[in-house]
Amino acid sequence: MEDKKRLPRHVSIIMDGNGRWAQARGKERVFGHLEGVESVRACLEAAVEDGIEYLSLYAFSEENWNRPQAEVNALMELMMESIRKETANMMENGVRFLVLGNRSRLSEKLNAAIDALTRETSANPRTTLIVFLSYSGKWDIAQAVRKAASELPAEKLQSLEPEDLDKYLVTAGIPDPDLLIRTSGELRISNYLLWQCAYTEFYFTDVLWPDFRKPQFREAIAAYSARDRRYGKVK
Ligand code: IPE
Ligand code: IPE
Ligand code: MG
């Protein structure tokens, strides 16, 4: 019972280190991305098995569009392929699929595939898998402000509270991450969920994303479970 209480509802991961993993083996960066898909599968499986409600993954940032075109294309193709390959698996395991980010920058073909999988999995009752694609935290806040400004009367805007803005972020209705994991030893947030991580617990590991599998995922969950969250209060 106590264990259940300490389980994070929402685990988020900045999946980093694919390029270095490949380069350490004398291979092209894209091999690291390919191997990284296996880590996604493993962590999703662990999340489903352990009863984690939300698993979200930072797959591609707005800044990542500035990478060489060939790498961007490879990543987008990998996304298409993963959608095709993982559909059956998600249906079997009761996984609900969502993509959040600046969808206007994705190809029509990819957007259509995302929409189809989102629709197909929408009633699945177990873990919700959220893929952040073409996402950045500052972009999210800016689009939320734009939407709020166009929908709310001036009077309401003038007295806007943080909870009011929550409803316009792309994560509306999704609980904030309880635990944010970043692999590959980098100690930064790289414009990820800036607003939503206000009280998130951070977990950094040197393990590169392609090496981050079920045991490493469960180790991070265990570290979270041992922490004391105070939210500014005295306990
Ligand atoms: C993470 O691995 C994947 C994406 C950001 C798309 P990287 O590609 O950033 O790998 P490193 O950090 O260069 O090793
Ligand atoms: C963060 O990784 C973005 C994703 C994992 C999608 P990056 O590799 O792009 O971040 P920086 O450039 O090291 O900050
Ligand atoms: Mg990186």
Residue 233 falls inside a structural domain: no
Residue 231 lies in a domain: no
- Tell me if 177 sits within 8 A of 197, measured CB to CB: yes
Confidence (pLDDT) at 9: 98
The arrangement of strands across the sheet holding 201-204 comes to 96-100, 128-135, 54-61, 10-14, 179-182, 201-204
In a domain, 230, yes or no: no
Residue 28 lies in a domain: yes
Number of domains within the chain: 1
Ligand 2: which of 56, 60, 64, 100 to mutate, judged by most atoms within 8 Å of the beta carbon?
64
- What distances in angstroms separate CA 31 from CA 12, 142, 186, 205, one per listed residue? 23, 35, 20, 21
Measured CA to CA, the distance from residue 197 to residue 199 in angstroms comes to 5
pLDDT computed for residue 5 by the predictor: 59
pLDDT score, position 18: 98
- Note down the domain range covering 59: 4-225
64 lines ligand 2 (CB under 6 A): yes
* Cα 124 to middle of ligand 1, angstroms: 30
- β-partners of residue 182 are 14, 204
What's 197's domain CATH number?
Answer: 3.40.1180.10
Any domain includes 99: yes
In a domain, 153, yes or no: yes
Q: Is 16 a catalytic residue?
A: yes
| pLDDT for position 4 | 52
Tell me if 119 is assigned to some domain. yes
Q: Is residue 235 part of a domain?
A: no
| Ligand 1 contact, 75 CB (< 6 A) | yes
**How remote is the CA of residue 111 from the centroid of ligand 3, in Å?**
24
Which residues make Cβ contacts (< 8 Å) with residue 208, sequence separation at least 6?
16, 17, 18, 20, 21, 32, 183, 184
The minimum-distance atom of ligand 2 relative to the CA of 188 is 14
161 CB neighbour count, 10 Å cutoff = 8
Per-residue model confidence (pLDDT) at position 227:
96
- pLDDT score at 1: 44
Q: pLDDT (tens digit, 0 to 9) for every residue of the chain, 235 residues total?
A: 445 558 999 999 999 999 999 999 999 999 999 999 999 999 999 999 999 999 999 999 999 999 999 999 999 999 999 999 999 999 999 999 999 999 999 999 999 999 999 999 999 999 999 999 999 999 999 999 999 999 999 999 999 999 999 999 999 999 999 999 999 999 999 999 999 999 999 999 999 999 999 999 999 999 999 999 999 999 8
